[in-house]
Amino acid sequence: MKIGNKNIGKDYPSFIIAELSANHNGNLDVAIETIKAAKRCGADAIKLQTYTPDTMTIDVDNKYFQINEGTLWDGKTLHELYGEAYTPWEWHDQLFEAAEKEGLICFSSPFDLTAVDFLEKYDMPAYKIASFEIQDIPLIEYAASKGKPIIMSTGIATEEDIQLAVETCRKVGNNDIILLKCTSSYPAPLELANLNTIPDLKTRFDVEVGFSDHTYGSLAPTIAVTLGAKVIEKHFILDKNIGGPDADFSLDVNEFKEMVDQVRDAEKLLGKVSYEVSEKVKKNRKFARSLFVVKDVKAGEIITSENVRSIRPGYGLHPKYYNQILGKSFSNNIVKGTPLNLQFIENFDVEF
């Protein structure tokens, strides 16, 4: 599948998404500068979130709407939090334009049906379903019906939730599905990352897979790539001093650039399945072991473990012949340090 001009799959580099989220802290100029910085840091895409406090929840402060779960946002109501965090819809024109100028793919997470309708005018290259919306089957069905790749985070999902979400996409004919392993804890402890789930998601649900990360640092996404993650999503902020609801677990410019570099280095290390020997390695084969005469010997003298050994460097006969040549005779006088070859051995027929 493709998202914008990027191919997604095992034969292609991981698709790296910088999540803007609330990291503009209510300032359009900061949002635009963040987009520019994401491109400089090596991101493939910038992702927005499209909602308003009133499309997300209602303005009520009873116990059901109070945040009091040991999070960074305790003490606020849901409506208050989303009022601080949302990206104004009137900014979208300028944000998409800024991303296009930078050559950066831009898409968004819609949080209700009206957001999907609003985003359709931007010809979305993909839709992202957030972790807490994976149970919103009408939203998933509507977004998937638009025929664009669907990326879904699984942070709060049970296996049954994931299965239903995937089936919902397929029911409307959309098979371009990417599941992101995610831990919906902010920040997420390393011991809850369970990255081994990534390859299992791929085989269990027959989809492309990735990782949406809320841990500190870049270790987790780098390891995720080695486990088959083809999409990496990480919250990105210009400077943590900007503040905001997501600043604590976001990567700043230097940290994000380091993550991108580490992911790309991991991909180089993974390479491909290959038994070819590179030209550089071929040159170094001369330092491998081979059979050498290690004592001065006379013609007719018997070859023994005392006068022929397998040693470095690799200019002599292959060590695989060692047992065959023991007990044979030298055909020449040979000085210590001479690479052994077939012409120095009397009546030796190669059996390999």
Give the whole-angstrom CA distance, residue 255 versus residue 124.
28
204-220 burial, b if ≥16 CB within 10 A, otherwise e? ebebbbbbbbbbbbbeb
Whole-number pLDDT of residue 314: 94
Whole-number pLDDT of residue 335: 98
Domain ranges within the chain, ordered by starting residue: 2-51+86-270, 279-344
Whole-number pLDDT of residue 71: 64
Whole-number pLDDT of residue 72: 67
Whole-number pLDDT of residue 352: 45
Whole-number pLDDT of residue 70: 67
CATH number of 279-344: 3.90.1210.10
Whole-number pLDDT of residue 300: 96
Give the whole-angstrom CA distance, residue 275 versus residue 254.
37
Distance of CA 306 to the CA centre of its chain: 54
CATH class of 2-51+86-270: alpha beta
Q: Which amino acid is at 217?
A: G
Rg (CA), the chain: 30
What does the pLDDT profile of the chain (352 residues) look like in tens digits? 999 999 999 899 999 999 999 999 999 999 999 999 999 999 999 999 999 999 999 999 898 898 876 666 687 899 988 888 899 999 999 999 999 999 999 999 999 999 999 999 999 999 999 999 999 999 999 999 999 999 999 999 999 999 999 999 999 999 999 999 998 777 888 999 999 999 999 999 999 999 999 899 999 999 999 999 999 999 999 999 988 888 888 999 999 999 999 999 999 999 988 888 888 888 888 899 999 999 999 999 999 999 999 999 999 999 999 999 999 999 999 999 999 999 999 988 765 4
Whole-number pLDDT of residue 82: 87
134-173 burial, b if ≥16 CB within 10 A, otherwise e? bebeebbbbbbebebbbbbbbbebeeeebeebbebbeeee
Give the whole-angstrom CA distance, residue 110 versus residue 99.
18
Write down the pTM of the prediction.
0.87
Asked, colleague to colleague, whether 2-51+86-270 and 279-344 share their fold, the answer is no
CA-based end-to-end distance of the chain: 49
Distance of CA 42 to the CA centre of its chain: 13
Give the whole-angstrom CA distance, residue 195 versus residue 182.
9
pLDDT tens, 74-133? 878 999 888 888 999 999 999 999 999 999 999 999 999 999 999 999 999 999 999 999
